[in-house]
Amino acid sequence: MALGFGAQSLVKDWIAGFFLLMENQFGVGDIISVDNAHTGTVERMTLRVTQIRDSEGKAHYLPNGTLTQVVVLSKDFARAQVDIEVPFEADIDAVMALLSKVGTELSTAWPERVLEPTQVLGVEAIGQNGILLRTLTKVAPGKQWEVARELRRRYLLALRDAGIVIPLPQRIVHHRQGSPVPPEN
């Protein structure tokens, strides 16, 4: 009976692996996220298991029969999403133009990584400390993190040069002098 249950799991892994390979859902070299628990680069695929290596270098061996939701992060193209918070008093249109200019400069400097100039989508949120602006950049597969890091660096430098300070959380503290007022009966 135990052998039957073990064989059932093995057959499930093989069937799932067969369909993964036949449908070409992902392949060796793709970056995938499995069930929101594991993210990494596919290093090996067999009928029974898929091996991925995460950003810390850990190898994960995942039985194909247990893969329920796989997100391929490197199929055809990717998008680098970068959010920038600016102070309330900033000229939003001028900041958006500056972010667009920086994105265009990066697409010229990195044509093999950046497929299209950055789109500045606009105001994503109005927060406690400032206004959040969102940008999206279409990039080569697997390059979204590298491009996002470089965009953040360039945005920070451009905003500094323009005299725009990134808002920091602020707290106002009221200090009372003297003794507290006694409660009324």
Inter-residue long-range contacts of 90-99, CB under 8 Å, 24+ positions, other chains counted: 90/130, 90/131, 90/164, 92/123, 92/131, 92/133, 94/162, 95/133, 95/159, 95/162, 95/164, 96/120, 96/122, 96/133, 98/158, 98/159, 98/162, 99/133, 99/135, 99/155, 99/158
Q: Against a cut of 0.75, is the pTM above it? A: no
- Local confidence pLDDT in tens for the 185 residues of the chain: 555 666 777 777 788 788 788 888 888 988 999 988 899 999 999 888 999 999 899 999 999 888 888 888 888 899 999 999 999 999 999 999 999 999 999 999 999 999 999 999 999 999 988 999 999 999 999 899 999 999 999 999 999 999 998 887 767 777 777 666 666 76
